[in-house]
Amino acid sequence: MAARASELPPGRSVTAGIIIVGDEILKGHTQDTNTYFLCRTLRSLGVKVCRVSVVPDEVATIAAEITSFSSRFTHVLTAGGIGPTHDDVTFEAVAQAFGEELKPHPELQAAIKALGGEGWEKLSLVPSSARLHYGTDPQTGHPFRFPLISVRNVYLFPGIPELLRRVLEGMKDLFQNTAVRFHSKELYVAAAESSIAPILAEAQAHFGRRLCLGSYPDWGNNYYQVKLTLDSEEEEPLEECLTYLTSRLPQGSLVPYMPSAVEQASMAVYKLAESGSSLGKQVASALQTIETALDRYCLTQLCVGFNGGKDCTALLHLVYAAVKRKFPDVPNPLQILYIRSTSSFSELEQFLQDTIKRYNLQVLEAEGDMKQALVELQMRYPQLKAVLMGTRRTDPYSCGLSSFSPTDPSWPSFMRVNPLLDWTYRNIWDFLRQLFVPYCILYDRGYTSLGSRENTVQNPALKCLSPGGHPIYRPAYLLENEDEERNSRT
């Protein structure tokens, strides 16, 4: 029979356990993204997720976990193991857990027939006490054509991430707990976790059960070393804890970090351009050059030269902001030209992959020196007409360039677009760090100009002694004399 969400007693703490079903998760064949979405959504609904379990496609194992979870938590959500094949055994496992038989359900048989799905008859065999929930499909605004199935307090979700998200969005009323609202705050600390551990322990003891304080180190972030999370069912303890930590953490260690720098690129970049500051004027000038290029060429005729260095990272962020401003609804990815080095740093390769994901980039890859790369680029992508480059006048052979400079006659014919020509080393770093733009971690280890492993070293001008007397290198953005930038190249 069809079912409606049952009302929960006022003030009741609502809990959930999640069971992820699938050999493919345990074997590493598929990356589980369902857990993150389920936990995040349930918490937003006032439901506390207490346990997550990943189990193989084995009836007895799934049944045992369902039996355990269903007696301990308000809701149990399973994901996976629903389908027409031999290894889709979640329905069978639920039936075993509750001592029921699998029986054909007339409504499910009718739904399968209406959908025209041959070979899906297995989906109509459900435990005898199964309930059907049709909810509201967020894509159509109408009830789902095939329902979510539950048995007692166990809800059986599909394992396909896109479908699971769609179903949960349309079934939120089943889990909404209006009696509880979770409040959270994130803080970012530029200090070693070990150095602040005593302060965090004191804070947790001070606030007790009113608040949960979590500490999560991040060794790859350019702006902080530890993310702190404050969670509570009340807002007041969060503010009290913020005041408590601010007065006790090392002075200046709390960073106003913006984790969504890419998503907010357009707003933040144009706000800086309109600020009237000296950096803002440089940003405004660069944007004017980029916008002119976007007027002259369509996106398929343009690419951004990108090798993972600081200058082209700043350029990419600027171009991305301008493209999003001019074409907010165009789904086409931005194109980058990446010239692969034979002996690249692994950190640089990882940064490239991370950047591709952050900005949703299409990579046009080539090998060799710049001239060889452009020859290959022209042959493989004849539609390309211009390359946006992060060149500055202080770069070798660049003092005579202009914002729009055609390649030399002996080179493949491209327009070189140079928005950063008059930027300084300090401008680059001020731009990146003011907007919390992610950059290659090598710059935080004393490298100021990146090439290959054969011709790149840490800059001697940044060498210093640690408090323990060991030699270390300060980050690139602390270089005082800009003329020493290329001391990283041999």
At residue 6, does pLDDT exceed 60?
no
Q: Where residue 116 falls among pLDDT bands split at 50, 70, 90?
A: confident
Q: Where residue 1 falls among pLDDT bands split at 50, 70, 90?
A: very low
Distance between CA atoms of residues 100 and 142, nearest Å:
32
Counts of helices then strands in the chain (DSSP H, E):
14, 20
Q: Is the dihedral of CA 110, 113, 119, 123 positive or negative?
A: negative
Q: What is the structure's pLDDT at 368? A: 82
Distance between CA atoms of residues 369 and 488, nearest Å:
20
Q: Where residue 2 falls among pLDDT bands split at 50, 70, 90?
A: very low
The pLDDT tens digits for 468-488 are 899 999 999 999 999 999 999
Q: What is the structure's pLDDT at 385? A: 96
Q: What is the structure's pLDDT at 4? A: 38
Q: What is the structure's pLDDT at 209? A: 93
Q: What is the structure's pLDDT at 481? A: 96
Distance between CA atoms of residues 404 and 415, nearest Å:
7
Question: Counting beta carbons within 10 angstroms of the beta carbon of residue 353, is it exposed (0 to 12), middle (13 to 18) or buried (19 or more)?
Answer: exposed
CB 143 within 8 A of CB 137: yes
Q: Closest Cα to residue 408, out of 365, 370, 451? A: 370
Distance between CA atoms of residues 323 and 262, nearest Å:
12
Q: What residues contact residue 182 under an 8 Å CB cut-off, 6+ apart?
A: 43, 44, 46, 48, 231, 232, 233
Distance between CA atoms of residues 293 and 312, nearest Å:
16
Q: In the predicted model, what is the mean pLDDT of residues 218-228?
A: 96
Q: What is the structure's pLDDT at 5? A: 40
Distance between CA atoms of residues 158 and 123, nearest Å:
11
The pLDDT tens digits for 305-335 are 999 999 999 999 999 999 999 999 877 799 9
Cβ atoms within 10 Å, residue 29: 9
End-to-end CA distance of the chain: 76
Distance between CA atoms of residues 254 and 336, nearest Å:
35
Our measurement of the distance from residue 36's CA atom to the centroid of its chain's CA atoms, rounded to an integer in Å, reads 12
Q: What is the structure's pLDDT at 49? A: 98
The pLDDT tens digits for 262-296 are 999 999 999 999 999 999 999 999 999 999 999 99
Q: What is the structure's pLDDT at 396? A: 86
Q: What is the structure's pLDDT at 341? A: 79
3-state SS, residue 340 = strand
Residue 242, phi-psi category: left (phi > 0), alpha (psi -120 to 50), beta (remainder): alpha
Q: What residues contact residue 16 under an 8 Å CB cut-off, 6+ apart?
A: 42, 47, 48, 49, 50, 73, 74, 75, 76, 77, 175
Q: In the predicted model, what is the mean pLDDT of residues 47-53?
A: 97
Q: In the predicted model, what is the mean pLDDT of residues 429-454?
A: 96
Q: In the predicted model, what is the mean pLDDT of residues 24-34?
A: 97
Q: Closest Cα to residue 170, out of 204, 195, 133? A: 133
Q: In the predicted model, what is the mean pLDDT of residues 108-114?
A: 93
Q: What is the structure's pLDDT at 9? A: 44
Q: Where residue 367 falls among pLDDT bands split at 50, 70, 90?
A: confident
Q: Where residue 233 falls among pLDDT bands split at 50, 70, 90?
A: very high
Q: What residues contact residue 134 under an 8 Å CB cut-off, 6+ apart?
A: 2, 143, 144, 147, 148
The pLDDT tens digits for 161-195 are 999 999 999 999 999 999 999 999 999 999 999 99
Q: What is the structure's pLDDT at 482? A: 93
The pLDDT tens digits for 134-163 are 999 999 999 999 999 999 999 999 999 999
Distance between CA atoms of residues 453 and 450, nearest Å:
9
Q: What residues contact residue 21 under an 8 Å CB cut-off, 6+ apart?
A: 55, 56, 57, 62, 78, 79, 80, 81, 90, 159
Cβ atoms within 10 Å, residue 245: 21
Q: What percent of the chain has pLDDT over 90?
A: 88
**Token reading at 74:** 């308000």
**Token reading at 314:** 């700043």
Element housing 464 (H / E): strand 463-465
Q: In the predicted model, what is the mean pLDDT of residues 440-456?
A: 95
The pLDDT tens digits for 240-255 are 999 999 999 999 999 9
Q: Closest Cα to residue 388, out of 336, 321, 329, 327? A: 336
Q: What is the structure's pLDDT at 10? A: 45
Q: What is the structure's pLDDT at 12? A: 63
Average pLDDT, the chain: 94
Question: Counting beta carbons within 10 angstroms of the beta carbon of residue 256, is it exposed (0 to 12), middle (13 to 18) or buried (19 or more)?
Answer: exposed
Q: Where residue 370 falls among pLDDT bands split at 50, 70, 90?
A: confident
CB 18 within 8 A of CB 39: yes
pTM (predicted TM-score)? 0.83
Amino acid identity, residue 202? E
Q: Where residue 115 falls among pLDDT bands split at 50, 70, 90?
A: confident
